[in-house]
Amino acid sequence: MNRMRPILVVLAALAGSVMLAGCVQLHSETTIDEDGGGTALITISMSEAVADAVKEMEALDVEGGPSGDMPSFGDIEREKIESRVAEYGVEITTFERGMVDGRETIEIGYEFEDMRGLSAAMSAVMDDGGDGNDNGLGIFDAGDGNLVLRPTSYEFPAWEDDTAAEDEAESTAPTQMDPEAMQKQMEIMGKLMGAISELDISMKITVPGDIVSTNAPTQEGRTSIWTINSSNMMSAEQDMEPRIVFEGKGLKIEPQAE
């Protein structure tokens, strides 16, 4: 599963534990303009059966259990995200929640001014901010008039509600491990792992210059495409940390400092 973390981190500073059970579909499409800004669209969905199993897992809340940070669509709120990204020049253009083909679905669209803004927005979606090592994407000088889009880290401030949660956790004694609850957790995990065929993660990034090289397994013009699904999640040898070298001639992008 660790092989999935880089692509997920890039999608939302996207934490790998969110896809712990491999039962979520997540699609991301990012288009970068000639000035380094652009647009992004994220679609996250899960079946009703999986959503119910996740809620059961969260309700058990046993210290030391295997649930991890399971996805909770209820925590993804437009107002919360907007309050986190306002200072980074990010605008939410679309926020839709509903049932699509029997799946609980959230679609979020962004306009961003630079890659730091995009990375902050992605991080805010998955509640992954404020740990001092927030992963995202940046554009750097690749030499010979080229630019390179690759992963980098930003130090975003801790979200206010996250800080409150940490303070509460420090002041509250941990729940004792309940063997019956642990057994129930394992049963639910079995259901979630049984839904592994639902795993469908894709990331598309379109750059504003002709591509010189990319580590994406699929390239369509200036678009690089990475995918993870149930058939390749354990055996895929593709490098999931996006790296795209593209021509910078005529572009207005100021490379980030190393």
Most confident of 9-18, 26-35, 44-53: 26-35
Predicted local confidence at residue 238, as pLDDT: 54
Predicted local confidence at residue 190, as pLDDT: 65
Predicted local confidence at residue 72, as pLDDT: 63
Read off the pLDDT of each residue in 130-158 and give the average, rounded to a whole number: 84
d(CA 222, CA 144): 19
Instruction: Tell me the per-residue pLDDT of 88-103, one tens digit each, with 9 for 90 and over.
Output: 999 999 999 998 888 8
Residues 6+ apart with CB under 8 A from 145: 247, 248, 249
d(CA 156, CA 247): 30
Query: For the whole model, what pTM was predicted?
Result: 0.76
Domain ranges, ordered by start, for the chain:
2-247
Instruction: Tell me the per-residue pLDDT of 199-243, one tens digit each, with 9 for 90 and over.
Output: 778 899 999 999 999 999 999 999 999 988 766 666 555 566 899
Radius of gyration of the chain (CA): 19
